Structure 1
Amino acid sequence: MEPERKLTAPAAAAFQEGVGLVLSRWSALQLAVENEWGGRESRLKAEQLVSDIFSWVNFSTEPLYIDDLEEMLIEAMSSLNTVIEDGSIEEVAEKIMIMHEECLDCNFRSIESLREANSRRVPTPHVKQVVNDEEDSDEDDDDTDPSMNKDDSSNMIVDKPESHAVEPKTKQAVEAEDGWEVVGPRRSRGKRN
């Protein structure tokens, strides 16, 4: 059995920076931090997540499994009172695990491209939820979450520009340019009946 490979000191520093860059581009995390959904310590909780991931990877004596990393991300988002159901936890975990493998081989290209992308980023609003306002589209009503009020037509939230959390154009952002109407944030966060 081959011994577990460890990151060199330069690779460990690059990996820790890379984890921070990946998390800074995770819009769900950044939205939770900016809105302090986890309380006043929301930013500290996000920073602690970077340290926790780095420690888990760098000091673990057990093999690293992506499921464990996903669980760590779920717990961190839970501490920010945020439930993620958009598949981004799996995506973030996969990026971090791939980055770790690259750093083991002293390959820092993905970190360099993240660093470069962050330096070019321009703040733009981005859509958080998509709303289906079509009155004649009743076919999806049976599959809706019972906690969602079918009469609530303002499910779309648009973030104000953020210099630290703008994602590259996603399918939602492209759709916004192709005819989706971008609306301002709701004034009250309470449910309407």
Structure 2
Amino acid sequence: MNRGLAAEAAAQLQEGINLVLSRWAALGMAVENEWGGRDSLQKSQQLGGRLFHLLTQSREQVYIDDVEDMLDEFMLSFNTEIGDGSIEEIAEKLMVMREECLDGNFESVKRLKETNVPSVAHSRMPGSNDEEDSEDDGSDDDALREDNSSEMEVDVPCSPLNLNQKDTITNEPSLKEASEGDGWTVVASRRNGGRRN
């Protein structure tokens, strides 16, 4: 079962949780872009409180998987699936910090405070012209477009499409026969089905 945290240790752990979350790039982007809705910032602040509660008030032993699950579920509520390993990294940092705080060791929180940097997500105002960005953006984007354009594969139908309505009507029986043989059916689009002349 969980050992209790002293008041100072609890305050240090809460601050450490908030510092770790403020540096998590995926969370920063999700909040900045409001992927969780208009109240994304409030949701992220609630995550800190929920994690603190899990790490300090749980009646059962808390495992790193429990923290990972909470972080993963939270990011899914932001319509964001994280596959970069950051959930596991954040969970590990929080578990280590919790154990240190239980032992009265606040070094990891102190290091976080000393190296406190603004959140990783860099917001740029629309229309702002950063010199660094303007020099690099044009040439890199053009080079990227040039590189990718030659490697792009496109599926081209074997027979050319005829947009003539007469051809469509005459080809319908062959489409029906093909659909019955292959197990798929042709569905008329809503636009053409309700067309008025």
Normalising by structure 1, we get a TM-score of: 0.62
> What residue number does 2:157 align with?
none
2:32 pairs with one of 31, 34, 58 = 34
Distance in 1 separating the partners of 2:33 and 2:9: 33
Distance in 2 separating the partners of 1:68 and 1:104: 18
Instruction: Read off the aligned partner of 1:14 and give its amino acid letter.
Output: Q
1:86 aligns with 2:101: no
What is the CA distance between 1:86 and its match in structure 2? 0.2
- Check whether the contact 1:32–1:80 (CA below 8 A) recurs between aligned residues: yes
The percent of aligned pairs where both chains have the same amino acid is 53
Distance in 2 separating the partners of 1:91 and 1:35: 23
**What is the total number of aligned residue pairs between the two structures?**
129
Secondary structure of the structure 1 residue equivalent to 2:91: helix
> What residue number does 1:114 align with?
112
Distance in 1 separating the partners of 2:17 and 2:47: 9
Report the CA distance shift for 1:80/1:104 in structure 2 as closer, same or farther (over 3 A). Answer: same
Q: Which of the two has greater helix per residue?
A: 2
- Check whether the contact 1:7–1:58 (CA below 8 A) recurs between aligned residues: yes
What is the CA distance between 1:5 and its match in structure 2? 1.4
Secondary structure of the structure 2 residue equivalent to 1:4: coil
Gaps of 5+ in 1: 127-158, 163-180, 184-192
Residue by residue over 1:145-175, the C-alpha shift from the partner in whole angstroms, topping out at 9 and shown as x without a partner, is: xxxxxxxxxxxxxx5469xxxxxxxxxxxxx
Secondary structure of the structure 1 residue equivalent to 2:115: helix
> What residue number does 1:13 align with?
11
Instruction: Read off the aligned partner of 1:66 and give its amino acid letter.
Output: I
Secondary structure of the structure 2 residue equivalent to 1:103: helix
- Check whether the contact 1:123–1:161 (CA below 8 A) recurs between aligned residues: no
Report the CA distance shift for 1:182/1:16 in structure 2 as closer, same or farther (over 3 A). Answer: farther
Normalising by structure 2, we get a TM-score of: 0.60
Distance in 2 separating the partners of 1:182 and 1:16: 42
Larger radius of gyration: 2
Distance in 1 separating the partners of 2:140 and 2:47: 32
Gaps of 5+ in 2: 126-138, 142-153, 155-197
Report the CA distance shift for 1:54/1:122 in structure 2 as closer, same or farther (over 3 A). Answer: closer
Report the CA distance shift for 1:94/1:122 in structure 2 as closer, same or farther (over 3 A). Answer: closer
Instruction: Read off the aligned partner of 2:101 and give its amino acid letter.
Output: C
> What residue number does 1:100 align with?
98
Report the CA distance shift for 1:8/1:111 in structure 2 as closer, same or farther (over 3 A). Answer: same
Residue by residue over 1:130-151, the C-alpha shift from the partner in whole angstroms, topping out at 9 and shown as x without a partner, is: xxxxxxxxxxxxxxxxxxxxxx
Secondary structure of the structure 1 residue equivalent to 2:62: coil
Residue by residue over 1:50-106, the C-alpha shift from the partner in whole angstroms, topping out at 9 and shown as x without a partner, is: 000001111111001110110000011011111100000000000000000000011
Distance in 1 separating the partners of 2:5 and 2:25: 28
Instruction: Read off the aligned partner of 1:75 and give its amino acid letter.
Output: E
Report the CA distance shift for 1:182/1:75 in structure 2 as closer, same or farther (over 3 A). Answer: farther
Distance in 2 separating the partners of 1:12 and 1:182: 48
